[in-house]
Homo-oligomer: A and B are copies of this chain.
Amino acid sequence: MAKVADLYYQLDPWKIAEKGFDKNRSEVSEAIFALGNEYMGVRGYFEEGFSGATLLGSYFNGIYENSPEENRVQYKGIVKRSHFMVNAVDWLKTEIIIDGQRLDLNRVAVRDYYRELDLRSGILTRSFQITTGTDKEVFFKFERFLDMEQAQWGYQKISVCTKAENVELELTLGADFNSEHVSQGQNFWREIKKDTVGETTGILGETLTTKQKVFSGFYLKNNQSLSSEVVTRDKFIGRKFNVKLSRDNCFEVEKHVNNIVSKTPIATEKLWQKGIRDSQRQQQISYEQTKINQKVYWKKVWEKYDITINGDELNQQGIRFCIFQLQQTYHGQNKTNNIGAKGLTGESYGGLAFWDTETCCLPFYLLNNLDAAKNLLEFRYETLSQARLRATELDCKGACYPIATLNGHEASDLWQHASLQFQPSTGVAYGIFHYMNLSDDTEFLYGHGIEMLIEICRFLASRGDFSPTGEFGFFGVMGPDEFQMMVNHNGYTNYMAKKTFEYTLQTLSEIARVKPERKIELISELQLTQEEQELWKLCADKTLMLIREDGVIEQHDGFFKLPHLDIQEIPIEDFPLYHHWSYDRIYRNDMIKQPDVLMFQFLYNQDFSFESKKVNYEFYEPKTIHESSLSPSIHSILAAELGKNEAAYEFFGFATRMDLDNYNRNTREGLHTTSIAAAWMNIVYGFGGVRTDGPILQLNPTIPENWHDYEFKFTYKNALIAVKVSQKFVSLTKITGPDITISLYDKAVTLNDEVYEIKRNY
């Protein structure tokens, strides 16, 4: 089962670089070199086209299509039509014809190929040299980046130079709505309008069924003051330069692109006008100035979020890549955005956001960018009405959050997931609780937070049930361990629900105490009744947790009686099991896909004794095959806590490099964005021993043997703290902000302007 690294990119603390071009890795590199700014994302494809393997993907957060086919299984409560993030306008579209021949790196020998993504600026460059069919040497350089603040703006620069004479270059730059959504095998766009207005060349497309619109306008500036002619085809508009290049002569063109999306219906002309105006505004700012702005932006990010690791160059590069990608994917720009399983880097998983958002991604933002964390929760509030609708589809009350979504509606048409898994709902409740541990945002909690909590409790109480002997729990569910289906009293589901009831009731008491007028409002606006609160209390009090004498919590009723499967005996070629095993075979033994009992022991970490965590870890870990890429990090975090340092390091592996080294051999489909978040957690919560599931932040740092030292930063109660851990010492530095108290090795420490240093505990 061992996964093997595929080291390919240059080792560098601040860069991802590819020296020399390997055609077989073209799609993996498209994912690795993907750029994003939350608003949009574009894979690192060759803008000039590539006849080899390529997934030419350009995405906008929240721009989606409905799946063309209806689900054939049409029982009530089963999603009829799924949706997915749709491949959108190729705004980097370029055609290069050099001495009559189309540039295609699949068909021409390339020299001095070099591609680099600079994590300090977000700028992606690529340069190489070719010899044309007419035996002339030509040098190319491409550059692209996205504006991290003016998020609708993207930039591209192309330079073509030669040392030969009379090189004929035809260069067309445009915007193209013809890209196919590869996994669906079709294009989902209709062209609405295209035109040139002043310096702006624009095109406006609309999705076929969701009727979302995207405007893409661009402005070109070249170093030879050459004029270009407009080229149009169906769903495409471009501008073509005819250039004659000679010895030591370069043609250089900058493309300033302005992409404006409208997720909700808008009149074509209104969007067109807005697009043109915004493009004109963009033309006021120089390309070079914008590049500088990006460096400034990323400098601030690294000042707050950077992690340094001395003694492990691979993980040093890896963790920076992770932080860079998390920031690219999401930073709280807009509360209608969320974090897809693959970010904005591929089509896989339909670009959908899962429960990982609250459980695995939220911590990164809670400790680095509290506004972004809040916006992730606001996304759930924005989509509360969809969750209410989903609950009624399931014959339940309240609100049921979707397993997978872009627009708030359930997108999973596999009923065994969409109708049996409730970790998204309890995850939202957990997210609110977690956010409140790190903020004092009672305005949110008493406002949107409590509304969501009430509706989630209503859902849980109506979906759960009482056994004939009076225990409350959930029947016919699937917990995070997706290898056990239609089980009763799944420990995760029961425990998370119990905690949700308790936190909601506690919050309601608090509101009654400190803001009684809000309680009255809730009673009238949400028809909150005393009876339902009593029911939630009863549910919480009667929730069944099956705990064996030795402290092992039974994953569900009957788990201990399942046939045992020795997972070490599964041949490596059987993985992934979903592809190689008969579907039902996965579900009838004690094999575990990903942590379930251990997951809630991680989330509500401080609820459980060291002994309880130890006995459960030792029971469940050997049964777990980690078929989710999040699984090893959760195990590593718990192993570190339990003093199992070897296991902690082994499970950590090179979590930070899962994609860089293509461990799962599917990075070409897109980056494992939520695993990237888990890798960050693996360092901060695992080795760093941070815990945020209580009223005070806990720190219990350990350090892998082969690391000299490492340092991570976080923001807690407005203070920016740096934690440096070496083999012998732990030092805490408050960089900015007020004095703050945290717990270090179970001892309260108040950080002020002095560095606090102690010996490492163990």
Contact = CB atoms under 8 A, between A and B. Distances in A.
Interface of A: 69, 71-73, 75-78, 393-396, 413-415, 419-420, 465-469, 475-476, 485-488, 557-558, 560-564, 578-585, 587-589
B468 A560 contact: yes
Given A475-B563, A579-B76, A588 B557 contact: no
A76 B583 contact: yes
A486 B488 contact: no
B76 A587 contact: no
Contacts of A419: 582-584
A581 B395 CA distance: 7
A437 to B, nearest CB: 33
Nearest to A416: B416
A584 B488 contact: no
Given A72-B71, A75-B578, A589-B465, A476 B584 contact: yes
Contact of A72 (B72, B394, B557, B589): B72
Given A395-B582, A419-B584, 4 more contacts: A75-B582, A465-B563, A467-B562, A486-B486
Contacts of A561: 467-469, 488, 557
A583 to B, nearest CB: 4
A395 B588 contact: no
A587 B486 contact: yes
Nearest to A486: B486
Sorted nearest first, the 8 A-B pairs with minimum C-beta distance are A77-B582, A476-B588, A475-B588, A75-B583, A486-B486, A465-B563, A419-B584, A395-B582
Nearest to A582: B77
A349 to B, nearest CB: 16
A558 B465 contact: no
A583 B77 contact: yes
Given A475-B588, A584-B419, A589-B465, A562 B488 contact: yes
A414 B73 contact: yes
30 contacts: A69-B69, A72-B72, A73-B414, A75-B578, A76-B579, A76-B580, A76-B582, A76-B583, A77-B582, A77-B583, A77-B584, A77-B585, A78-B583, A395-B581, A395-B582, A395-B585, A396-B582, A415-B584, A419-B582, A419-B584, A465-B563, A467-B561, A468-B563, A475-B562, A476-B485, A476-B584, A476-B587, A485-B486, A486-B487, A488-B561
A123 to B, nearest CB: 41
A714 to B, nearest CB: 41
A394 B475 contact: no
A466 B414 contact: no
Given A587-B476, A588-B465, A588-B475, A76 B562 contact: no
Nearest to A472: B563
Nearest to A393: B582
Contacts of A395: 581-582, 585
Q: Is the interface of A mostly helix, strand, loop or mixed?
A: loop
B468 A584 contact: no
A582 B71 CA distance: 15
Say how many copies of this protein the assembly contains. 2
A394 B584 contact: yes
Contacts of A415: 583-584
Nearest to A392: B582
Contacts of A581: 76, 395
B75 A585 contact: no
A583 B77 CA distance: 6
Contacts of A72: 69, 71-72, 413
A71 B71 CA distance: 9
A422 to B, nearest CB: 11
A78 B416 CA distance: 14
Nearest to A544: B561
A393 B78 CA distance: 26
B414 A475 contact: no
Nearest to A467: B561
Nearest to A394: B582
Contacts of A420: 584
Contacts of A78: 583
Contacts of A396: 582
A532 B759 CA distance: 64
Nearest to A590: B468
Given A75-B578, A76-B582, A394-B584, A564 B468 contact: yes
A60 B486 CA distance: 40
A469 B466 CA distance: 29
A562 B489 CA distance: 10
A550 to B, nearest CB: 15
Nearest to A583: B75
Nearest to A73: B414
Contacts of A564: 468
Nearest to A579: B76
A287 B202 CA distance: 79
A530 B341 CA distance: 52
A476 B589 CA distance: 9
A486 B77 CA distance: 19
Contacts of A558: 488, 557-558
Nearest to A564: B468
B486 A563 contact: no
A584 B77 CA distance: 8
Given A75-B578, A578-B75, A466 B584 contact: no
Nearest to A67: B72
Nearest to A565: B465
Nearest to A562: B475
Central interface residue in A75, A396, A469, A589, by most chain B CB within 10 Å = A75
Nearest to A557: B558
Contact of A563 (B393, B467, B587): B467
Contacts of A469: 561
A475 B587 CA distance: 8
Contacts of A486: 485-487, 587
A581 B392 CA distance: 11
A586 to B, nearest CB: 9
A581 B78 CA distance: 11
Nearest to A475: B588
Nearest to A560: B468
A220 to B, nearest CB: 44
A581 B77 CA distance: 8
A578 to B, nearest CB: 6
Contacts of A466: 563
Nearest to A415: B583
A716 to B, nearest CB: 41
A647 to B, nearest CB: 25
A451 to B, nearest CB: 24
Contacts of A394: 582, 584-585
Contacts of A71: 72
Contacts of A414: 73
Contacts of A73: 73, 414
